[in-house]
Chain A
Amino acid sequence: MSDHRIELTVNGQTRSATVEGRRTLSDFLRIDAGYTGVHVGCEHGVCGACTVIVDGRAVRSCLMLAVQADGAAVTTVEGLAAPDGTLHPVQQALRDAHGLQCGFCTPGIVMTLAALTSDEKKPGAETLLGAMSGHICRCTGYQGIRKAARALAGEDV
């Protein structure tokens, strides 16, 4: 079993650490680095709750090793709202559309939508709704989430 020195940025802050090869990025972020907004549901790539942004792309952090994020820029849900507490547009859209209840799935959904809407080319509703297949929500029945996604695509909802 091997230990590895890694250096990465999380929400703009540089962090270095020594991790075991088998440490998942989700456990590193949540347990070692304290970003408890990274929710871990299934630990094997099914639920989407652990989704974070790595180098601009939404990925499941339980399906990546911490050592693989060496040199990467990682954003978790803690990195989205402004310092004064103003919500990120994705967070605001979910709030406006009642897109969350217990909130367990929410950070993952927020990160997927944030990654896609930060893109230069404004994604259409079809793209945003399609990407929601990667998230499981046990509470909302999805309609509020879909409404938020359509609002973010610029549709009248």
Chain B
Amino acid sequence: MKPAPFDYMRPDTIEEACAILAEAGGGATVIAGGQTLMPLLALRMSQPFILVDLSRITALRGVTRIAEATRIGPMTTQNDAIADATLQSRLPLLVQALRHVGHHQTRNRGTIGGSIAFGEPAAESPAAAVALGATLELRSVRGVRTVPADEFYLGPYATVIEPDELLTAIDVPDWPADSVPLFREVALRPGDFALVGLIGSIVLESGKIARASLAWFGMGATPIKARRAEDALIGQSPDSLQPALIAELAIAETDPFDDHHATADYRRTVGQRIFTRTLSEALGIRQAA
């Protein structure tokens, strides 16, 4: 199908974009890379009066270093982020996750910020933002505020962004270079949304787990932080860990759903398995078969 008619606007600056959103009073929709929104427009599931295209706002693109963090411009495309030297060295886990977003062709236009702001519960980028402890900067004509990624999601496709606000920066704090990455997803085909996905990072200090951050995707209405499992990991040494027990804690916090691809039970079963396996492999724990 074809999109319903709309007014198309292409501001050059963040200020202009915020002014348009304020003026529109909720009638405007922002288009970033469009790789999710364009299908919704074509299917007429989204019918905005005004489409605000961010593609010419150069201030929203690129990767820079700020104090103890990496600032990612939300309009940075997924493929540009994957190829970015700073992200490759500072945030290899994010780069790994982005390789699973859509297909090569959609990653050429799809943006990190678009995906984070859209809030598909089975998508990789929102869970990566939560797991890595990112802070999201939101701007409007009313001012600027920052929201931690794990307080950003309210439900499927629902976030705390107000209709007049724009996501203007994604700040990801530094993780030690020797952090242990955890990433695994189960999808029907490469490029499909995850049926079950897990992403996280663990920091070891003198043989003990000092920091752990783990998030599920595709396992509920939003990305889900596995807080009880994180707490159980802190202070432990990998040899004394029982990954299957930690996995049980992690699964207990999920709330997966049935759909035409998989049942909630299937997701829980597979989630438990991939958690156990991913944690064991990451920490070099031998598992009894």
Binds B, one of A9-17, A61-69, A81-89: A61-69
A48 to B1, CA, bound (A): 16
- Per a CB cutoff under 8 Å, which of A27, A59, A63 touches B2? A27
Inter-subunit contact A21/B6 (CB<8 Å): yes
B105 touches A68 (CB 8 A): no
Question: Is A106's beta carbon under 8 Å from chain B?
Answer: no
Q: Is B103 an interface residue (CB 8 A)?
A: yes
Residues of A within 8 A of B220 (CB): none
C-alpha gap A74/B74 in the complex (Å):
25
Chain A residues whose C-beta falls within 8 Å of the C-beta of B42 in the assembled complex: 24, 43-44, 62
Complex: A58 Cα to B109 Cα, angstroms: 9
Find out whether the CB atom of A1 lies under 8 angstroms from the CB atom of B103.
no
Q: In the bound complex, do residue A134 and residue B51 qualify as a contact, i.e. CB atoms below 8 Å apart? A: no
- Report the bound CA distance from A67 to B53 in whole Å: 10
Q: Per-residue 0/1 for A84-119: is the Cβ within 8 Å of any B Cβ (1 yes, 0 no)?
A: 000000000000000000000000000010001000
> Does the CB pair B39–A57 fall under 8 Å?
no
Contact of B6 among A1, A27, A116 (CB under 8 A): A1
C-alpha spacing A4/B10, complex, angstroms = 11
Complex Cα–Cα for A91 and B7 (A): 40
Q: Is B146 an interface residue (CB 8 A)?
A: no
Q: Is the CB of A133 within 8 A of B2?
A: no
Which residue of the partner chain B has the closest CB to A111? Answer: B105
Contact status A44-B43, CB under 8 Å: yes
Instruction: Name the residue on B nearest A129 (C-beta).
Output: B190
Size of the A side of the interface (Cβ < 8 Å), in residues, is: 30
Contact B189 A59 (CB under 8 A): no
Say which residue of A1, A20, A24, A45 sits within 8 Å of B106 (CB atoms): A45
* A residues less than 8 Å from B6 (CB atoms): 1-2, 21-22
B162 to chain A, nearest CB (A): 24
B191 adjacent to chain A (CB < 8 Å): yes
For A27, A45, A64, A67, the residue with the greatest tally of chain B CB atoms inside 10 Å of its CB is: A45
What 0/1 pattern do residues 179 to 204 of B give for CB contact below 8 A with A?
Answer: 00000000001110000000000000
Task: Determine the chain A residues whose CB is within 8 A of the CB of B108 once the complex forms.
Answer: 57-59
Let me know if B237 is at the binding interface, CB within 8 A: no
B4 and A134: CB pair below 8 A? no
Specify which chain A residues have a CB less than 8 angstroms from the CB of B3 in the assembled complex: 22, 24
Separation of A1 and B8 alpha carbons in the complex (Å): 8
A51 at the interface (CB under 8 A from B): yes
Chain B nearest CB from A37 CB (Å) reads: 17
**A130 interface residue per 8 A CB criterion:** yes
Q: Which residues of B contact A (CB under 8 A)?
A: 1-10, 34-35, 38-39, 41-43, 51, 53, 55, 79, 102-106, 108-109, 189-191
Which are the 6 A-B pairs with shortest beta-carbon distances? A21-B8, A134-B103, A1-B5, A44-B39, A131-B104, A22-B3
Instruction: Give 14 A-B contacts (CB < 8 Å), ordered by A residue.
Output: A4-B8, A22-B8, A44-B38, A44-B39, A44-B43, A45-B106, A60-B106, A62-B38, A63-B106, A64-B38, A67-B10, A131-B105, A133-B190, A134-B103
